[in-house]
Structure 1
Amino acid sequence: MSVKVHVVFYSMYGHIYRMAEAVAEGARSVAGADVKLWQVPELVPDEVLEKSGAKAARAAFAQVPVIAPDRLPEADVILFGAPTRFGNMCAQMRNFLDQTGGLWAKGALIGKVGSVFTSTATQHGGQESTLLSFHTTLLHQGMVVVGLPYSEARQMTLTEITGGSPYGATTITGGDGSRMPSDNELAMARFQGRHATQIAAKLSAA
């Protein structure tokens, strides 16, 4: 049985893109999974992206297609990735989700599996508040929310600085953004992609 998976992300400097790739890799490990990687539209003007260095960083994933809200119902499971902005999701992802009112009115996402991953600049920079506040939107859409269970024991790692929580995979970028996702964080992202896809497969077969 085929399970359609959308990994929908926003990334400014590439951290969430790397996490999204790992999530997609985990999803693809499930037999019958049809996985597509998407990004949401950018809102920041080109000249601002240029000055901040984000434009050059975003060139690494410029080939990833931009998704429109009406593509979401095609999927059985949607894994959303977005960086944190002051303890909440970034404006680009919020703007995208705010355009799904028509889907909500039709109940188009009811019963779909939804899962979320994120990044912050600092170790305690609002990762869990971002994930939990994101879950609220998914619940309003009637989605089945899936996190990162403690069977993924890497989130309990104490031998290194690492992201990860029962609400979803996370990464820490460092104050200057120079830290890319660690092997431990990428492994958790792969686990989450596989786990959410397996649950969607079970629901589809029910």
Structure 2
Amino acid sequence: MIRQFDQSLQDVKNLLLQMGEHLEIAIDKAVKSLSRLDARMAREVLEHDPVIDEMEGKIDDAVAKLIATQQPVATDLRRLIAAMKIASDMERMADLAANIAQVTVQLVEQKLSLFKELEDIPKMAAITQQMVHDGINSYIDGNVALARKLADTDDEVDRMYHDIVNELLDLIKQNQADTEVALRLSFVARYLERIADHATNIAENIVYIQTGKRADLN
């Protein structure tokens, strides 16, 4: 019975790892599509979003079955509940990546161009991708220290978000012709900031698994 539970739990972990890999790719491709104004790449992100939704469903079903058949308690039960919440956070992050891809499609369709090469947004995206990676690994390894570090990284992303928005507002004041593109880029920065918040939610679940107490890391 114990071996069966451990194997089933490992299967859930593997699904979370796969989902995390798909999510990291989605974020990367979404931001690259924006930097290059590549509508085809952006549409690939949009078309792949249902795959990530389906993976969340598989994780929810696997966890529900384990709880019903194995009746886990204490840490094991918290680990399973956390898996469902992590999958939900990743699904929402994937939706935000799709939102970024949608911005690319809109810019291309409306024949709008970037007024300068993107620098800060790709940097912000790289940090959020790493947060996703570290969040999933902290769950797999039970690494509370790594999970808590995500709170500091989230603060860094928040600062970057505010700096980007302030810069875009200054650009609008200097040249109102750039207003529409600048506003859309501010939305992208906001989507990335929200992805970082969801990654921090994952970290909070890691602390919950190990301590049984909720931590507010946002």
- Superposition TM-score, scaled by structure 2 size: 0.28
The structure in which a higher percent of residues are strand is 1
Q: Which has the larger radius of gyration?
A: 2
Q: Which has the higher helix share?
A: 2
